[in-house]
Structure 1
Amino acid sequence: MLDSHFVFIPKQTVRYVTELTECIKVKSSDEDVDDSNEFVKFFPSFIWAVRDFTLERKIDGKDATENDYLEFALKLKHGTSKKVMEYNLPRECIQKFFPSRTCFMFSFPTAPENVSRLERLDPADLSTEFLEVTGRFCKFVFDKSHVKKLKDGYTVTGRVLGHLAKTYVDTISSGAVPCLENAVIAMAMIENQAAVKEGLEVYQSGMEKLKNSFPLELKLVSSEHQRLSGMATQTFMTRSFRDTDGKHLKSLEVINELFDGYLCQNEQASKKRCEDLLSSLSATMTKKLKEGVYAKSGGYDLFCKDLEDILKKYNSQTNKEVKVLSILHNLMTF
């Protein structure tokens, strides 16, 4: 039977909970304000696993469930004495910070003579009652445990949790009081800067591959720019965290400057290709010009014919070049 003599909550298990108001802050405020009511937004549900439970599970002579036992254990005593206050403090903290509470009572796992070799025991040697509770416990954890979320419902991934843990440790090591709000802001900065970097890498990687095929038709370069720009934005959105004002997303606008650079490189490649082609096609005509062939009788007609031949070959081989006209102008001033 359960009564106050059997209900015992070890102080070391709730010591940190009772000291939270002194060891951590939720909001970044210089004022000495008790914001402990905000902690419940960040805490997980409370699961109390009672090990080696051998008592009769009754309260006031009536059968009690595991959760009944937990709530009975958290029941406060009346009075204001120091002893009563010390008894009530950890219970008040658990009730305050963990509104969702569940209890599992594990019986002794096996016969006493088997305890020394628990890790080598066959499941058949384990208590059926112990295995039944273990099954319910595991199912509850897997089915009911919620993904950790921060304020405003942002999900914490493993990477984000790592950033948070490092921020807390660094803050505590410096002698300051960790602030959940500031830690989230710092972590968001890290994540969003990394998201911008990943987005830019996606864009630049794709454009560098395209660059190997320069010169290309302007329409093709623009189309690939649009596609990669969209991929960069999607990459950013996938990793970004709390970029509520769009400040970091706006950083991706540098892609337009990068695009201008690639357009310039494409034009330079086109210019060189056109110049090389023009030089090759006009080599014979240049030689005739130096030899005075066009200065002889009928030379003008021959000049016009040779020039027309060069124009036809040039236009047929450079119809998609972005610098075809500017280089052609050089030919017309030949």
Structure 2
Amino acid sequence: MDLPVCLIENTADGKLQVNAKAADILSRITQPVVVVAIVGVYRTGKSYLMNKLAGSQKGFDLGSTVQAKTKGIWMRCLPHPTKTGHTLILLDTEGLGDVEKGDKKNDMWIFCLAVLLSSALVYNSKAVIDEDAIEKLHYVGEMAELIKVKSKDNDDDEAEYSTYFPIFIWAVRDVTLKLEFNGKPITEDEYLDNALMLQKAENAQESLEKVEQHNKYRNCIRMYFKTRKCFMFDLPTGDKEVLQNMDEVSEDQLSPEFMAQTRNFCDYVYKAAEVKYLDSVHRVTGKTLAHLAAMYTEAISSSNAACMEDVVTNISVAENTAAVKEATQHYDNRMKEKVTLPTETLDQIIELSEECEKEALQIFIKRSFKDNDRRFHTQYLKIIEQQKSEFFKRNDMESRTRCETLIQTLSQDLENSLKQGSYATLAGYQMFKEEMERIEEKYKNEPRKGTKAEDVLQEFKKSKELVGVTIMMNDKALSDQQKKIEEEKRNKEKQELERKTEESQRCAENKKTEHQRRIFEEHIREVLEKEKNERRLLQEQLQTVLLDKTREQDMYRSQGYNDHARMYEEQINDLRNKREELGSPGWMPLVVKTLCSAASCVLPPFVKIGANFLSGFVQMFNK
């Protein structure tokens, strides 16, 4: 995108809505996305930083007057400069506190949406981080009213917000102060930490209220954003005319220090801003981001709290539905490509189906998520079984049609002879037997008859049984003893045929059973592997949050804020318990049991897997 488009726009009735054109652009992005949003007071140079992140001088409108230019949230998408296979999405937001607009509710909505949609949030302000600057960031303290983590709990655990929220970057523009604290040089990050230090309360009520107000937003920033970074920018130039035309002037007209600071800022964002995640595990693509934007915008502008858990659940339903469709369509397409009907044997179509099922399963497992009750896995299994059954049925029908046509052709002389009464003569039965043997030999020598070759042959022979008996009984060349021997021989052949037919059916059933068992083992293995990886990722995420919370707690203790330090104790213990629970192997049997329950509703009874097998499988997987 050379130019940005409006992603979220203001409507005439004071609401917000997602722009259809922008949603269409996002829906065509299948790569994981890194989303960087910038917020801050209007006319503080937000758009300039966004253009620099885009690697261009123009794009987002900078404006050159006291009027705010950006309305709503504007979006620009481009290949990520350093992360191959990823898309960088930049969101430039409407300036907060626009006196012409004078709508604090709209400002709050914009701020919350920037937080919810981004993996890195840049807060842009001017000159210093002082009480006034932090007061302007009061939206952080009010977010809990519009953003909920869970739908069932009235009070969310504040520690959970930091798991979902983006990294926080404070960009301080047009800085003139020296980076010193108590006469000693400090870094930009230390400057931010010092600015976020709490005050201790005194006994006087007036002083207590003032201290609580001072600490409120600082606590929220520390609580909600586990990663915080500060960048301080010199004034780009002392030339007012150059400042008013920043998107037109060359870099050599700007301060070298300012340009170096800008490059450092961009390098950090490219490196530190990670892929946007839905729930710490599942990466967001452009298409998913379009869904997120629509759902969050609708919830917030309807004056309802945007519940992250509900939104993830709704997206999972859409994605799981699409996963079922994509995977089953892949199976159908691949079977049509691979299988030439009829296959010579049942083994051949089973082998080909198994290959296609494994491919389809990979697609389903990769795309589906949060299908804890296996509802969509059941749908997937049901459709695959229907498709497979249809392919096997068509394979048998093609084989039967071909074999019946073949045997009709080969037996034409026999049928003509029967009509003409050619076997109603001395030694006619021997002639009949020889013709039947000739037909069988030629039939068996014909290639590509398929799975129903033996069935059709036996059906043909059975259809001629009565004819053969009649010819034999009327053949004067045979004695009664010979006829008796022939009858006994025929009965033995009939019994042997029935035995072979039963054995063949049992063998075919066993092959299908073993096929289903192998496929179902693959299902269990893939689901367990995915669950194991997701739990490992969640453990890593929790460990990161745990370390951040522990550092915060240690900081409060070192500064004598014991009450605040104790506030973190419960959060830290809860995080530890969740991490240990995720690492416990007790989840495996439950997952397998749930999957088996889902499969038993779909698969034939003979493929249900016993408890001993499941127990052994879980033990084998753990090894």
Q: TM-score, normalised by structure 1?
A: 0.86
Q: 1:40 aligns with which of 148, 151, 162?
A: 162
From the superposition, tell whether residues 172 and 216 of structure 1 become closer, same or farther in structure 2 (CA, over 3 Å).
Answer: farther
Alignment of 1:1-334 (within 5 A): 8-9=132-133, 11-12=135-136, 14-29=137-152, 31=154, 33=155, 35-77=157-199, 80=206, 86-112=213-239, 113-151=241-279, 153-158=280-285, 159-210=287-338, 213-254=341-382, 255-296=384-425, 299-317=428-446, 321-332=450-461, 333-334=463-464
Q: Distance in 1 between matches of 2:372 and 2:437?
A: 62
Q: Distance in 2 between matches of 1:205 and 1:140?
A: 45
Q: Distance in 2 between matches of 1:260 and 1:56?
A: 76
Check the 8 A contact 2:335/2:353 in 1, yes or no.
yes
Q: Distance in 2 between matches of 1:71 and 1:319?
A: 78
Check the 8 A contact 1:215/1:269 in 2, yes or no.
no
Deviations 1:109-136 (A, max 9, x none): 2341422432233333332111211221
TM-aligned CA deviation for residue 172 of structure 1: 3.1
TM-aligned CA deviation for residue 267 of structure 1: 0.9
Check the 8 A contact 2:233/2:262 in 1, yes or no.
yes
From the superposition, tell whether residues 130 and 331 of structure 1 become closer, same or farther in structure 2 (CA, over 3 Å).
Answer: same
From the superposition, tell whether residues 17 and 150 of structure 1 become closer, same or farther in structure 2 (CA, over 3 Å).
Answer: same
Alpha-carbon RMSD: 2.9
- Aligned-partner SS, 1:55: coil
TM-aligned CA deviation for residue 178 of structure 1: 1.9
From the superposition, tell whether residues 318 and 295 of structure 1 become closer, same or farther in structure 2 (CA, over 3 Å).
Answer: farther
Check the 8 A contact 2:341/2:395 in 1, yes or no.
no
Structure (1/2) with the larger strand percentage: 2
Q: Distance in 1 between matches of 2:351 and 2:172?
A: 64
Check the 8 A contact 2:158/2:223 in 1, yes or no.
no
Q: Partner amino acid for 1:98?
A: F
TM-aligned CA deviation for residue 229 of structure 1: 1.3
Check the 8 A contact 2:171/2:230 in 1, yes or no.
yes
TM-aligned CA deviation for residue 137 of structure 1: 1.2
The structure, 1 or 2, with the larger RCO (C-alpha pairs under 8 Å, 6+ apart) is 1
Check the 8 A contact 1:196/1:248 in 2, yes or no.
yes
Check the 8 A contact 1:27/1:181 in 2, yes or no.
yes
Could you tell me which runs of 5 or more consecutive residues in structure 2 were left unpaired when the two chains were aligned.
1-126, 465-623
Q: Distance in 2 between matches of 1:48 and 1:5?
A: 9
From the superposition, tell whether residues 310 and 193 of structure 1 become closer, same or farther in structure 2 (CA, over 3 Å).
Answer: same
Could you tell me which runs of 5 or more consecutive residues in structure 1 were left unpaired when the two chains were aligned.
none
Q: Partner amino acid for 1:49?
A: A
Residues 263-272 or 90-99, more deviating: 90-99
TM-aligned CA deviation for residue 10 of structure 1: 6.0
Check the 8 A contact 2:324/2:376 in 1, yes or no.
yes
Deviations 1:114-165 (A, max 9, x none): 22432233333332111211221122112222333454x3133224333333
Q: TM-score, normalised by structure 2?
A: 0.48
TM-aligned CA deviation for residue 5 of structure 1: 9.7
Structure 1 ranges of 4+ moved more than 6 A: none
Deviations 1:275-330 (A, max 9, x none): 11011111222223222333355544443333222111111115752212221133
Q: Partner amino acid for 1:201?
A: Q
TM-aligned CA deviation for residue 222 of structure 1: 0.4
Q: Distance in 2 between matches of 1:136 and 1:5?
A: 20
- Aligned-partner SS, 2:171: strand
Residues 218-227 or 183-192, more deviating: 183-192
Q: Distance in 2 between matches of 1:218 and 1:22?
A: 62
- Aligned-partner SS, 1:176: coil
Deviations 1:152-193 (A, max 9, x none): x31332243333333323333554322222222222222222
- Aligned-partner SS, 1:295: coil
